[in-house]
Structure 1
């Protein structure tokens, strides 16, 4: 007895979701991930808030040289009655360094205990005025962290749920369950249900990450950063939806080529590499505008590259739309080819099915 296509896809998707939600390993790993994200955000906020300026002792002759740094909060100044008192404050550990009069051209020198206070030296160093032709409001290290965050979330979700799809496909082939399933639904409906079910789980995990991150940023008083990330996060979710379906279809199709769990890793490794390459590119080339521009149009890296460029303000308004059209077209093409490979390989057991044979049917 055959089942209508929408109902068949819905049943398979529901089965995939229920199996995962009943897995203690999945629930525990998801909980640990959420706690790790929240803890990292809160810890970063606490550390940045608790970071104190270097403590420096000054005397009346040198107070004018560092008064501006004291007013801005870059240095925490303590006034000593004499040079000897300032040196004693350094010896006691009350201050990190002391600025005292000297006969050199600057008119002062830094006194420290056993090591040069690098932070104080840098603040007092004479440097030329820097003029920026195209000033940016984005901090380089912050940009690096945001790029890494997008890369990690996409990489972990794609590999985790993609591997689950692959293992499920091979397990059903090994146990012959797939023969029973195909007596009532088609192979393409089975593949669509697997991709849909795991996609819903992945999207749910992304939503939890977004909620946890927003909560953490709000608790630590980083609402301004949350506001700046709003548009980038929204586009990341949109690109993630299509990018994940693309990767999931590839995992399902390639896994259908083999019949043993031992062969899953080798047959799906090219797909894993497609997900890993953008992750490493954003680590090493996040400040390279040309590389990021190319990444934002390549379907496998667009979910990372385009949101990062939007955060930096490097992308024109039409660029994410064009990139999304390319990603959507690629996803539809991969689904069409992947479903053909899946359908032609699912009932073939034994040795690994060659890709050319799977395409020919």
Structure 2
């Protein structure tokens, strides 16, 4: 990463004199540089576009598949019309007589024939071609009233897909931008550009600018995905799903914004321990695991209330655990606020520890800096 440091040494004041840049000036310069570099990166733009298209495609395909559930067609012989006419689960095709109905069945135009039969309890008889037309029989059957002792508030399959969506978006965005920060830190150490940067700005300003710049991009990406998903649901008429998903998406965006700042500081701090790009994976693995574990937990335990409750209060998994509970309707109104307060406190602590490690390790090249030494300074 290259940075024009000449503008950071002095900046023009209102009276025409030159002044030393403040902490805010330095952070703004570095954050702006991080954002402009990413926005000029073809890889970043392509990956963002692909992710947006995938979200839009999933919404559209969900609407298409749900609308293509065709009703079974039946040929209705005169005299059986009253039985089928009020049945919303069948599509009736009128037939003049039994012969015409049989011909439609043999041609594959209908799945079964419904003909009058005075001797039958319902007054009709169902004819199939070579097997029992179960869908037609089920539609004509008289079903008893069914009551559930513990009804599920949300369809289990829908809950799984929502959990997968929260998990994969959090995982992909955190890993992508976290890795970008780690690579940028190591690149600056390896090329010794950081020595030039630290002659003009403080380590705290450098770290803050990196975190803020990449956090803005990550937050913008998540916000764009959320808006695109909500608009897609509205345009495709899936307002029932939107009603239950909208609140949880808003909470997801809020939790992600804070959680990513925490993770970004840890990615930068751990990357500062090494001086070679080859060693990034070894030092950032613990932070990567903090991103991967919530992803797998929400996928495999999205129907486990105890696991989701624990996840919603653990800072590193709260960005996916609490929004999922909000969607399922199992969280009390005050729980997201308590979880958010815990996340804010943890993020502040993580940023403080990360800044100390980053400052103490940034100018140490060669062998990997021990964790204890980075903390002690």
Match of 1:90 among 83, 86, 105: 105
Match of 1:145 among 161, 167, 173: 161
Cα deviations by residue, 1:260-294 (Å, 9 ceiling, x for unpaired): 11221222222222112221222221111111111
Which residue of 1 is the match for residue 364 of structure 2? 348
Q: CA deviation at 1:163?
A: 0.8
Q: CA deviation at 1:159?
A: 0.8
Q: CA deviation at 1:356?
A: 1.9
**SS of the residue 2:286 aligns to:** helix
- Largest Rg, 1 or 2: 2
8 Å Cα contact 1:3/1:184 also seen in 2:
no
Match of 1:330 among 331, 346, 365: 346
The higher relative CO (CA closer than 8 Å, separation ≥ 6) is in 1
Q: For 1:88-237, list aligned pairs within 5 A.
A: 88-99=103-114, 111-113=127-129, 119-120=135-136, 123=139, 128-133=144-149, 135-237=151-253
Range moving further from structure 2, 319-328 or 268-277: 268-277
Q: CA deviation at 1:16?
A: 0.4
- Cα separation, 2, equivalents of 1:315 and 1:230: 15
Matched, 1:261 2:270: no
Which residue of 2 is the match for residue 240 of structure 1? 256
Which residue of 2 is the match for residue 56 of structure 1? 74
Q: In the superposition, relative to structure 1, how do residues 94 and 190 fare at CA in structure 2: closer, same or farther (>3 Å)?
A: same
8 Å Cα contact 2:163/2:298 also seen in 1:
yes
Q: CA deviation at 1:311?
A: 1.8
8 Å Cα contact 2:29/2:209 also seen in 1:
yes
Q: In the superposition, relative to structure 1, how do residues 285 and 121 fare at CA in structure 2: closer, same or farther (>3 Å)?
A: farther
Q: How many residues align?
A: 358
8 Å Cα contact 1:55/1:75 also seen in 2:
yes
Range moving further from structure 2, 35-44 or 330-339: 35-44
Which residue of 1 is the match for residue 12 of structure 2? none
- Cα separation, 2, equivalents of 1:335 and 1:66: 67
Q: CA deviation at 1:224?
A: 3.7
Which runs of no fewer than 5 residues in structure 1 stay unpaired?
none
Range moving further from structure 2, 1-10 or 348-357: 1-10
Q: TM-score, normalised by structure 1?
A: 0.89
8 Å Cα contact 1:292/1:305 also seen in 2:
yes
Matched, 1:279 2:295: yes
- Alpha-carbon RMSD across the aligned residues, in angstroms, is 2.7
Q: CA deviation at 1:112?
A: 4.4
Q: In the superposition, relative to structure 1, how do residues 262 and 97 fare at CA in structure 2: closer, same or farther (>3 Å)?
A: farther
**SS of the residue 2:313 aligns to:** coil
Q: TM-score, normalised by structure 2?
A: 0.85
- Cα separation, 1, equivalents of 2:368 and 2:139: 65
**SS of the residue 1:149 aligns to:** helix
Which residue of 2 is the match for residue 320 of structure 1? 336
- Cα separation, 2, equivalents of 1:190 and 1:16: 11
Q: CA deviation at 1:90?
A: 2.5
Which residue of 1 is the match for residue 90 of structure 2? 75
Cα deviations by residue, 1:41-77 (Å, 9 ceiling, x for unpaired): 1222223223321223344676666555x2x2x2212
Which runs of no fewer than 5 residues in structure 2 stay unpaired?
1-8, 10-19
Q: In the superposition, relative to structure 1, how do residues 356 and 110 fare at CA in structure 2: closer, same or farther (>3 Å)?
A: farther
